[in-house]
Structure 1
Amino acid sequence: MLLQLMKISMAPSARMAMTRRIHPLVSLNPYQGIWTIKVRVTLKGNMRSYRNARGEGCVFNVELTDEDGTQIKATMFNEAAKKFYDKFQLGKVYYISKGTLKVANKQFKTVQNDYEMTLNEYSEVEEASSEATFIPETKFNFVPIDELGSYVNGRDLVDVVGVVREVSPTMSIRRKSDNETIPKRDITIADETKKTVVVSLWNDLATSVGQELLDMADKSPVVAIKSLKVGDFQGLSLSTLSKSVVVINPDLPEAKKLRSWYDSEGKETSLAFVGSGLSPSTKNGVQSMYSNRVLLSHITSDPLLGEDKPAYFNVKAYTSYIKPDQTMWYRACKTCTKKVTDAIGSGYWCEGCQKNDEECSLRYIMTVKVSDASGEAYFSVFNEQAEKIIGCSADELNELKSQDGESSYQLKLKEATWIPHIFRVSVTLQEYNNEKRQRITIRAVAPVDYATESSFLLEKILKMKISKIE
């Protein structure tokens, strides 16, 4: 009788704990019957809308971790998504039952589990707020900054930990898919590999966590970021997704070790941007400016290259000619870098920021002729890469042209030619006057390291000799 009274007075989560055996995540499979798990929400995605042949709907997912550290992704659609979106709170512990499992799609796996879970409107979710049993917090699998190259444009997401070196103001970016304006903020982080990388924070992360980081930027906080996409902008860059998690000054061994390194020597150490020519070492599969290397003729001889999707290559070549009378730059907003127009009266109008500003900056947008032993091609080049090629900013080049005349301006362009570079380029097909043409765009520029180049060429010669012997 006493036991029955105790059960009645208990919270639902406690009753569930007493009446049901808790199954570890590692024991679950699609053929199992009734089960109950006890897990912490270590990642919560945003609610997303979708449209397909069967109609419209909504979906969101969470990543769950049990006391053994095992993780699984759980997805909810439509009614289940609406029912559980507010229920699931990041960091809280829950009892969950009446879900289904299926084999995880390897292309979209974000946790190390062979299965993924689906919860429907009949699934049961009870918060275990009073439970003392330890459930791990968000689990990170950190990748050092100098090893990020192997993830460029891949499907795998990465976790990083770094000291914040710079924080930009919030920018407004207009999304091409729906013309919606969304906030973005860039932070630059560094780690013990003495490399830095730019991380773009989007949407709420840009305005909330991003603002917090800006306010404490002078203290160089440590951040741990989970689930980042690795892109090739400026050679290599990181971007947050709807499911990304940013933790400031986390209580983690890796963060404490990094803090100690930075305070003792890191802040006085010369740091290099990871996108400016990654190491050609193949250790851990690191992709570099020396991987996927081709001659210009490989690109120009295939008129259909880049038709279905952009193709990426690395090329060692010379900037052989920069036409001095082309449009070299555009007037840009100092906040969001979008093109500005003359405002009524004075100043400049930015459509992206929807405001006037008395000043603007110049940003490169031009075409350069590039040559190697196999031929030549015209590359499109934008601001950051153009600065590396020419050796000064667009504002500085314009000032040189205005003050010292055309001769100094043309001499500066001439000095930038016939210098070897390693270029990472993208190749796409664009239609102009009903004719498809190749567009080759420089994505990253690195100087030629002759010791590295010699090693690369020797390795190539050895491979050719081995293949001939075989």
Structure 2
Amino acid sequence: MAMTRRVHPLVSLNPYQGNWTIKVRVTSKGNMRTYKNARGEGCVFNVELTDGDGTQIQATMFNEAAKKFYDRFELGKVYYISKGTLRVANKQFKTVQNDYEMTLNENSEVEEASDEAACIPETKFKFVPIDQLGPYVNSKDLVDVIGIVQSVSPTMSIRRKSNNETVPKRDIVVADETKKTVVVSLWNELATTVGQELQDIADKSPVVAIKSLKVGDFQGISLSTLGKSIVQVNPVISESKKLRNWYDSEGKETSMASVGSGLSPSTKSGGRSMYSDRVSLAHITSNPSLGEDKPAFFSIRAYISFIKPDQSMWYRACKTCNKKMTDALGGGYW
């Protein structure tokens, strides 16, 4: 029966479409959250779904639907989903590249497709090199990072100011081929589960890939996990193999420096870290649309590799007004 049902690709869905069924993998699952507003109290959670073409969409469930589907959705599993609704995504809060977002209610249908999971891709990463984290400091954009674990701290208990609740936290330091390191704070279950696993094998310098990290300005630049973050230890992906080969051949003997070294923390008024907008030349040349809609401002550090020999780089100027001066006939300048 499951083999004959018609499945729609995510890219074909829109808010005006009638009945549809999708086959997707849960590539990210958020925590159940509670809220309180003028209409009362409730609960909500969301998942990120990926289909066979690699297209992603975020699905959100409220109240009864959230309670019904929270345990049913498991990270990494594949499901048939139908009877949901779509609307234009709120660009301020969307976490995937899709013009629409999905809402599932208590009447939506979710069925596990355990025998047909191979054709749906696993978690997709878009890694940012550690030395390129600056532009993301205190921004709404989340980043994916892959690195070699350099150290793992014991678990700490942190008390939240908002509700006085104590939550576990563990810091790890990771490095990559840019020869930079950064501190990643693992929170809640990630601190006690994956964090403990990393501490147990820290002497083997494992590779860790983390999806959906918030970039902050603690110690210049730092990373923190969120409820939707995914941590994979020694993932079987090409980037992991490449990083491992680099570390084993030369990285372990290389001197590393913190990516936040020399950067100032943000001011109390909320300013960004010094040089947090620094980018590489590749960032400019690889983005042809940069500056089309609005001016783009950034800083760059580079050296001069060529000076045109037929073009003077300076001119004689007036000492008081800096206007250009020209040789006058008979001597002097004007």
TM-score tier (shorter)? 0.7 to 0.9
**8 Å contact from structure 2 (residues 80, 112) kept in 1:** yes
What is the CA-CA distance between 1:130 and the residue it aligns to?
1.3
**8 Å contact from structure 2 (residues 217, 273) kept in 1:** no
Work out the CA distance in 1 between the residues paired with 2:272 and 2:71.
45
Which has more strand, going by share of residues? Answer: 1
Please tell me the residue identity of whatever aligns with 1:311.
G
Q: Residue 459 of structure 1 corresponds to which residue in structure 2?
A: none
Q: 1:132 to 1:230 in 2, by over 3 A?
A: closer
Of residues 63, 72, 78, the one that matches 1:93 is: 78
1:12-48 C-alpha deviation (Å, 9 max, x unpaired):
xxx2442x31000011111111100000111111111
Q: Residue 27 of structure 2 corresponds to which residue in structure 1?
A: 42
2:97 aligned with 1:126, yes or no?
no
What is the CA-CA distance between 1:277 and the residue it aligns to?
3.6
Q: Residue 188 of structure 2 corresponds to which residue in structure 1?
A: 203
Please tell me the residue identity of whatever aligns with 1:104.
A
Q: Residue 220 of structure 1 corresponds to which residue in structure 2?
A: 205
Q: 5 Å matches for 1:63-78?
A: 63-78=48-63
Work out the CA distance in 1 between the residues paired with 2:62 and 2:85.
13
SS of the residue 2:35 aligns to? strand
Q: Residue 189 of structure 1 corresponds to which residue in structure 2?
A: 174
What percentage of residue pairs aligned between the two structures are identical?
Answer: 77
**8 Å contact from structure 2 (residues 77, 117) kept in 1:** no
**8 Å contact from structure 2 (residues 78, 117) kept in 1:** no
What is the CA-CA distance between 1:313 and the residue it aligns to?
5.8
Q: Residue 155 of structure 1 corresponds to which residue in structure 2?
A: 140
Q: Residue 110 of structure 1 corresponds to which residue in structure 2?
A: 95
Of residues 33, 52, 56, the one that matches 2:18 is: 33
2:66 aligned with 1:81, yes or no?
yes
What is the CA-CA distance between 1:190 and the residue it aligns to?
0.3
Work out the CA distance in 1 between the residues paired with 2:208 and 2:302.
35
SS of the residue 1:113 aligns to? coil
What is the CA-CA distance between 1:454 and the residue it aligns to?
11
SS of the residue 1:50 aligns to? strand
SS of the residue 1:178 aligns to? coil
Q: Which has the higher contact order (CA 8 A, sep 6+)?
A: 2
1:59-93 C-alpha deviation (Å, 9 max, x unpaired):
11111000101111100000000000011011111
2:253 aligned with 1:268, yes or no?
yes
2:150 aligned with 1:136, yes or no?
no
2:11 aligned with 1:52, yes or no?
no
Q: 5 Å matches for 1:240-259?
A: 240-259=225-244
Q: Residue 270 of structure 2 corresponds to which residue in structure 1?
A: 311
Question: Which has the larger Rg?
Answer: 1
Which structure 1 residue ranges, 4+ long, deviate > 4 Å from structure 2?
452-455
Work out the CA distance in 2 between the residues paired with 1:143 and 1:136.
20
**8 Å contact from structure 2 (residues 153, 172) kept in 1:** yes
- Alpha-carbon RMSD across the aligned residues, in angstroms, is 2.4
Q: 5 Å matches for 1:376-387?
A: none
Please tell me the residue identity of whatever aligns with 1:109.
K
Q: 1:98 to 1:277 in 2, by over 3 A?
A: same
TM-score normalized by structure 2? Answer: 0.80
Paired residue total:
282
1:103-122 C-alpha deviation (Å, 9 max, x unpaired):
11111121111111000000
Q: 1:273 to 1:132 in 2, by over 3 A?
A: closer
Q: 1:453 to 1:24 in 2, by over 3 A?
A: closer
TM-score normalized by structure 1? Answer: 0.57
Please tell me the residue identity of whatever aligns with 2:183.
V
Of residues 155, 162, 167, the one that matches 1:170 is: 155
Please tell me the residue identity of whatever aligns with 2:193.
S
What is the CA-CA distance between 1:312 and the residue it aligns to?
1.3
Which has more helix, going by share of residues? Answer: 1
SS of the residue 1:139 aligns to? coil
